[in-house]
Amino acid sequence: MKRIALLGMPNTGKSTFFNRLTGAGARVGNWPGITVELLSAKVLLAGSMVEIVDLPGIYSLHGFSEDELVVRRFLESQPVNGLAVILNATQLDRQLAIALQLKTLGLPMVFLLNMADEARKIGIRIDTGRLETLLGGTVRLVSAKFGQGFKEAKVALEQLVQAHPKLHQASAEALMQDVQIEDALQHAFSQAVDTPVLLPARLTDRIDNVMLHPWLGLPLFLLAMYLLFEVVYGLGTPLQDGLEWLLSAAKDHWLTPLVGGLPAPAQSFITDGLFDGIGTVLTFLPIIAIFFLAMAAVEDSGYLARAAFLMDAFMSRLGLDGRSFVMQMMGLGCNVPALMGTRIMRSPGLRLLTMLVIPFSLCSARLQVFLFIVTAVFAAHTAPLVLLVLYVSSFLAAILTALIWRGRFSSHESLLLELPPYRLPTLKFLGFESLRATRHFLKTATGFIVLGVVLIWFLTHYPFHAAPASADTLAGKLAAGLAPVFSPLGIDQLLSIALLFGFVAKEIVIGALAVIYGAGGDQLSTLLGHRLDGVQAMSFLLFTLIYTPCLSTIAVIKQESKSWRFTLLSVAWPLLTAWVVSFLFYQGARALGF
C-alpha cells in the first residue's frame, strides 16, 4: 500500500483539503505506537490505491507538545511515499519555517499553498518557481475550500507517487536535530514572496472591533452562545422527541406482539432491556449530529478563539480556559456532545478538567425531572425560585470541582492561540464533521450503554416473580442495604431505586417513579406532594442534579479519556459531592427547624 502523509501548521485548512481529496470515506484509526487516533482514507491516485493520513497540525517539528510527539513518532515508524505539506499562503512569513524543517527529513514532498485566493486578495504575490528551487519540491497554489487549483494539486500528488513508487523512511537524525533555519527562512521568504508593506484593514478587524469590544464583547458572546443553544436544541429536541415516539410505537405495535410467545422474563429483557437500551442511544443521535454541525461552524468560523479571549480572565482562575466555558454552556442542553466537544482542546490536563466539570451542567433531561417534582411539591410562587437555586447550584458545583481538582489536572500550558480571520464555513465541510462524530459515537458508546441498561434491567427485574423494582427484587434489596446511606439525606428506599434508574438516563426517572409507586401522571404528582415535604424534595433534587447524569455520559467520558481511572473518578467524585451537598442541606435545614 502506498502512503502519503498530510502535514502542516494548525489553521492552514489541512482538514478541508483532506476532506476534498478523500471524500466521505475517511475513518479514524489507531496506529501502532501512536497514542492518538489518526484520520486516514484510501484514494485512487495514478492507478494505485494510496492511503492518505491526516497528521495533527504542528507549529514545529521539534517541539514537545502531544501533537508534535505524535507527528515525530509517526514519521519515525511509518514509511511513506512522500509528504503533502499544506501551508497557509497568507502567512508564509512564518509558515515556511515548517517547510524548511521538513526538507531536512529527505522525503519527497509536494507543497500546497492553501488559501491562495485570500493571499491574492490582500496583495501577496508568490513566485512558485523560485519557491520550488528553495524548498526542493513541487509547489502548487490551491484553495481547498473553493476548489481552485485542486486538480493541479491532485496531479502533483499523482506525479509524486509515480516518481517515488517505493516507501521511504524519514531520516532519523533529522528528527533529532533542531536545525537553525532562521536565516534560510528569511532568505526564502524575501526571495519568493512579495507582500505589501501595509496590509489593508481587513473585514475581520472591523468585526472584531465589535465582537471583542472591552464591554460589549462579553454580552455579545453570551448572546451568540444563547442563539447557538437555541439552534441546536430547537432543531434537535423535536427530532429526538419524534424518534422517541417512533421507537415507542415500534415497540408497542411491532416488537411486543413479535415476542409475545416468549416466556415473560425473556419478553421483558428484549423490550425493556435491549430495545430501550439501544433506543436510548438512538435518540441521542439527532442532537449529536446537529451539535457537531454547529460546533464545526463555530470552530471553522474562527469565533472559538475569540470566546477564549473573552472568557479567559475568569476561567483561568479556575484552571480552565474560555473554550471550557463554551462547552459548559453547551452541556446545559445535553452533556454528551459537550463532552465530545472537548476534543478541540489539545492539552490533556485542561481537557480532563473540563470533562470533569461538564457533567454538572443541568441538562434538559434533568430539567424534565426537576419540573415534574418541583410542580408536584412546591407552591406555584416558590417553584421558579427552586429552579433558579438548582441552576446556581449546578454552576457552584462546577466551580468548586474545578478549584479542587485544578492542581491534579493542571495543564501547565500557557494560553497561546492563533486568532484566525473570520471565515464562512462550507456546508460540505460541516456535513463531513457532523457525520464523522455521529458515527464515532454510535460505534463506541453503543456496547457500553446496552451493557448498562441490561444490568439495571436485571437488578430491577430479578427474581422474575417479583413486581419490577419492588422490595423483593435485587434493586429493592440493594436499596434496603443502602438505606443507611440515603436516610441521612431524607431519601427513602423507593426514591433511591429511582436514583438507580437515573444512572441509565434521567429521562426515565419519572417513568421509574410511576412504576415504583404504581401511579402515573397527575396521580403520581399528588402522591409525591403528600409523601415528600419541601426539604426532602430539595435534597432529592440536589442529589439528582449532582450525581452522574447518565450512562451515555459515562460511556462518552470513557471513550474520550480512554482511561478507566478517570472514568471511575468522574463517577465517584460527583456521587461523593452529591451526597455531601444533600447531607449538609437536609441536616442543616432540619436543624434549623424546617
* C-alpha–C-alpha distance, residues 163 and 14, integer Å: 24
Q: Is 434 in the site for other proteins (CB under 8 A)?
A: no
Cβ atoms of 149 and 164 within 8 Å: the answer is no
Give the count of beta carbons closer than 10 Å to the beta carbon of residue 417: 17
| Cβ neighbours of residue 538 closer than 8 Å, sequence gap 6 or more | 386, 585, 589
Does residue 108 contact residue 168 with C-beta atoms inside 8 Å?
A: yes
Min CB(417)–other proteins separation in Å: 5
Judged by CB under 8 A, the residue of 1, 416, 591, 592 near other proteins is 416
Please select the residue that binds other proteins; options are 31, 46, 63, 482, rule is CB under 8 A: 63
Site size for other proteins (CB under 8 A): 37
Q: Is 410 in the site for other proteins (CB under 8 A)?
A: no
Which CB, 305 or 494, lies closer to other proteins?
305
Q: Which residue has the cell 509536494?
A: 110
Residue 141: phi, psi to the nearest 5? -95, 130
Asked whether position 362 contacts other proteins by CB under 8 A, the answer is: no
Segment interacting with other proteins (CB under 8 A) among 92-100, 141-149, 349-357, 437-445: 92-100
Query: Which residue of 224, 231, 285, 305 would you call a contact of other proteins, by CB under 8 A?
Result: 305
Q: Which three cell numbers stand for residue 7?
A: 502535514
Residue entry with cell 477564549:
308
Q: Binder to other proteins among 54, 272, 312, 560 (CB under 8 A)?
A: 312
Q: Which of 19, 81, 90, 411 binds other proteins (CB under 8 A)?
A: 90
Name every residue whose Cβ is closer than 8 Å to that of residue 150 and which is 6 or more positions away in sequence: 20, 142, 143, 144
* Residue 402 C-beta: closest distance to other proteins, Å: 17
Cβ within 8 Å of residue 109, ≥6 positions away: 82, 83, 84, 85, 102, 103, 135, 136, 137, 138, 160
Residue 468 interacting with other proteins (CB under 8 A): no
Q: Three-class SS of residue 110?
A: strand
- Is 130 among the residues that bind other proteins (CB under 8 A)? no
The span of 145-153, 230-238, 275-283, 409-417 binding other proteins (CB under 8 A) equals 409-417
Q: Least distance to other proteins from the beta carbon of 197, Å?
A: 11
Nearest in space to 51 (alpha carbons), one of 169, 194, 161: 161
Cα end-to-end distance, the chain, whole Å: 74
Q: Which stretch binds other proteins (CB under 8 A): 41-49, 411-419, 533-541, 557-565?
A: 411-419
Q: Closest separation between CB of residue 24 and other proteins, Å?
A: 32
Part in contact with other proteins (CB under 8 A); list of ranges 267-275, 326-334, 413-421, 424-432: 413-421
DSSP string, 280-328: HHHHHHHHHHHHHHHHHHHHHHTHHHHHHHHHHHHHGGGT--HHHHHHH
* Cα–Cα distance, 14 to 101 (Å, whole number): 18
By CB under 8 A, tell whether 9 contacts other proteins.
yes
**443 and 452 Cβ atoms separated by less than 8 Å:** no
Write the binding mask 534 to 573 for other proteins: x where contact by CB under 8 A, - elsewhere: ----------------------------------------
**What is the contact mask toward other proteins in residues 168 to 187, using x (rule: CB under 8 A)?**
--------------x-----
Q: Does 348 bind other proteins (CB under 8 A)?
A: no
Is 69 an interacting residue with respect to other proteins (CB under 8 A)?
A: no
Q: Taking the complex as a whole, how short is the minimal distance between the CB of residue 238 and other proteins, in angstroms?
A: 38
Stretch that binds other proteins, among 56-64, 72-80, 268-276, 334-342 (CB under 8 A): 56-64
Radius of gyration of the chain (CA): 28
Per-residue x/- mask for other proteins, residues 94 to 123, rule CB under 8 A?
x--xx-------------------------
What mask of x and - would describe binding to other proteins in positions 188 to 227, judged by CB under 8 A? -------x---x--------x---x-xx------------
Edge-to-edge strand list for the sheet holding 2-8: 27-31, 34-45, 48-54, 2-8, 82-88, 109-114, 138-141
| The one among 24, 203, 223, 313 contacting other proteins by CB under 8 A | 313
Asked whether 28 and 436 are in contact (CB, 8 A), the reply is yes
Residue (85 or 528) nearer to other proteins, CB: 85
Q: How far is the CB of 414 from other proteins (least distance, A)?
A: 5
Residue owning grid cell 497557509: 88
Provide, rounded to whole angstroms, the least separation between the CB of residue 189 and other proteins: 10
- Note whether 251 binds other proteins by CB under 8 A: no
Answer for the pair 401, 328: CB distance below 8 angstroms, yes or no.
Answer: no
Q: Considering beta carbons, is residue 165 or 196 the nearer one to other proteins?
A: 196
- Dihedral over alpha carbons 221, 225, 226, 230 (to 10 degrees): 150
- What torsion do the CA atoms of 408, 409, 414, 415 make, to the nearest 10 degrees? -140
Contact with other proteins (CB under 8 A) among 48, 91, 256, 587: 91
In the complex, what is the shortest distance from the CB of residue 94 to other proteins, in angstroms, rounded to a whole number?
A: 4
Q: Quick check: 320 binds other proteins (CB under 8 A)?
A: no
Distance CA 298, CA 79 (A): 36
The least distance separating other proteins from the CB of residue 331, rounded to whole angstroms, comes to 23
Span interacting with other proteins, options 88-96, 126-134, 442-450, 534-542, rule CB under 8 A: 88-96
- Grid cell, residue 224, equals 451568540
Cβ closest to other proteins, residue 95 vs residue 582? 95
Residue (214 or 260) nearer to other proteins, CB: 214
Query: Which residues in 366-385 contact other proteins (CB under 8 A)?
Result: none
Q: Closer CB to other proteins, residue 59 or residue 458?
A: 59
Question: Which residues neighbour 479 within 8 Å (Cβ) at sequence distance 6 or greater?
Answer: 471, 486, 493, 494, 496, 497, 500
Q: How far is the CB of 33 from other proteins (least distance, A)?
A: 23
C-alpha–C-alpha distance, residues 357 and 528, integer Å:
31
Could you list the residues that contact other proteins (CB under 8 A)? 9, 58-60, 62-65, 90-91, 93-94, 97-98, 182, 195, 199, 208, 212, 214-215, 305, 308-310, 312-314, 316, 414-421
